[in-house]
């Protein structure tokens, strides 16, 4: 409908659901509408009432059965009668007594009138004149916006330094000794069959403080499980030499949210994270076999020095712990 049509009260109105030749012919009206057969309306009323009465009878029967101690078959029968009668009554009511004529909605013009367009143009041009004449306002507003932008730069300093490779690398490297929490180097024979030992890299917590003694307790992101499973680990592709003397080493941080994976079930060779029950297969590269974790625990390549102490042969195969925004980049 055009704007001129909308202004003409005599013009034909469009309607929702019309095919273009005007509104469809009216459908059959309700049973109690104008011109309806009074006998047919009475029959329809009786049918609806019958449905509701059947529902009432079913509800009463259900209550009586419950009151007498209950009987599953009767309860189901009366419940079906109560719900079915109620549904039948409402369906007949809507079909026989509710109006069925198509709904017609007039369309109103949504475009702006010529007067509204002219008024907006005038107001916009007045704004341009103000900006041209009132240079002081423009300059002070620019100054305020610039000062606010500069002030917003200072909170960026609170974000701290960029993490760099701190999330992707650990102090482990070739020849770094594995030590216990009390800073004792570990020999291969220190871990019994089916035993587990938590170890850390023997390096200073702060690499810039070379004279600082190792502090394993401050290297929680490098915590490692040194395990001697009773079974034979199946080496992953390219990791044939990553175990030594039956020992295998994995990161202790769960790859789900970083909880310590400290529960080892020796008979099934499974590591369990107590936080969300992620489970990892030690003999199969610490692959997750249950729980929310989707990535295996990173493996640490290990070896022995000349005196039999366990040393790392490099860093973890992947960043330890949960995922972060650029983990795989």
According to the 3-state scheme, what is the secondary structure of 98-125? CCCCCCCCCCCCCCCCHHHHHHHHHHHH
d(CA 30, CA 36): 7
Euclidean distance between CA atoms 33 and 223, whole angstroms: 82
Sign of the Cα torsion 204, 206, 211, 212 reads negative
Look up 39 and say whether it is catalytic. no
Q: Which of 100, 218, 256, 269 is catalytic?
A: 256
Of 156, 163, 157, 159, residue with least CA distance to 329: 163
Q: What is the DSSP string of 221-261?
A: GG-EEEEE-SS---PPTT-TTS-BTTBEEEESB-TTT--B-
Of 39, 100, 108, 276, the catalytic one is 276
Phi, psi of 215 (to 5 degrees): -130, 85
Catalytic, 276? Answer: yes
Nearest CA-CA partner of 228 in 193, 186, 187, 269: 193
**Residue 97 in tokens:** 């007594």
Annotated catalytic residues are 256, 276
């Amino acid at each position: 409908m055009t704007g001129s049509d909308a202004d003409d009260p005599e013009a034909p109105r469009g309607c929702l659901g019309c095919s273009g030749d005007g509104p469809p012919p009216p459908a059959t009206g309700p049973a109690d509408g104008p011109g309806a057969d009074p006998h047919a309306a009475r029959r329809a009323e009786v049918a609806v009432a019958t449905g509701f009465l059947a529902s009432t009878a079913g509800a009463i029967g259900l209550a009586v059965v419950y009151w007498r101690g209950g009987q599953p078959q009767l309860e189901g029968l009366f419940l079906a009668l109560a719900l079915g009668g109620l549904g039948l009554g409402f369906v007949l009511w809507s079909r026989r007594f509710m109006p069925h004529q198509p709904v017609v909605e007039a369309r109103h013009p949504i475009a702006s009138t010529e007067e509204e367009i002219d008024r907006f143009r005038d107001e916009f041009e007045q704004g341009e004149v103000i900006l041209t004449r009132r240079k002081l306002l423009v300059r002070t507003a620019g100054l305020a916006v610039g000062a606010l932008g500069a002030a917003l730069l200072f909170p960026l300093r609170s974000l701290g330094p960029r993490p760099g490779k701190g999330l992707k690398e650990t102090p482990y490297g070739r020849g770094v000794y594995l030590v216990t929490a009390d800073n004792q180097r570990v020999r291969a024979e220190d871990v019994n069959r089916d035993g587990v030992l938590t170890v850390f890299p023997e390096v200073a917590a702060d690499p810039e403080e070379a004279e600082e003694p190792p502090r394993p307790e401050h290297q929680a992101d490098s915590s490692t499980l040194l395990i001697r499973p009773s079974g034979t680990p199946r080496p992953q592709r390219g990791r044939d030499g990553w175990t030594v003397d039956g020992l295998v080493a994995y990161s202790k941080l769960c790859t789900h949210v970083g909880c310590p994976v400290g529960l080892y079930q020796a008979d099934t060779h499974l590591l369990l994270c107590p936080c969300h029950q992620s489970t990892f297969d030690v003999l199969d590269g610490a692959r997750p076999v249950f729980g929310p974790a989707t990535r295996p625990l990173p493996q640490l390549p290990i070896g022995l020095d000349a005196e039999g102490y366990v040393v790392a042969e490099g860093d973890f195969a992947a960043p330890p712990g949960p995922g972060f925004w650029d983990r795989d980049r």
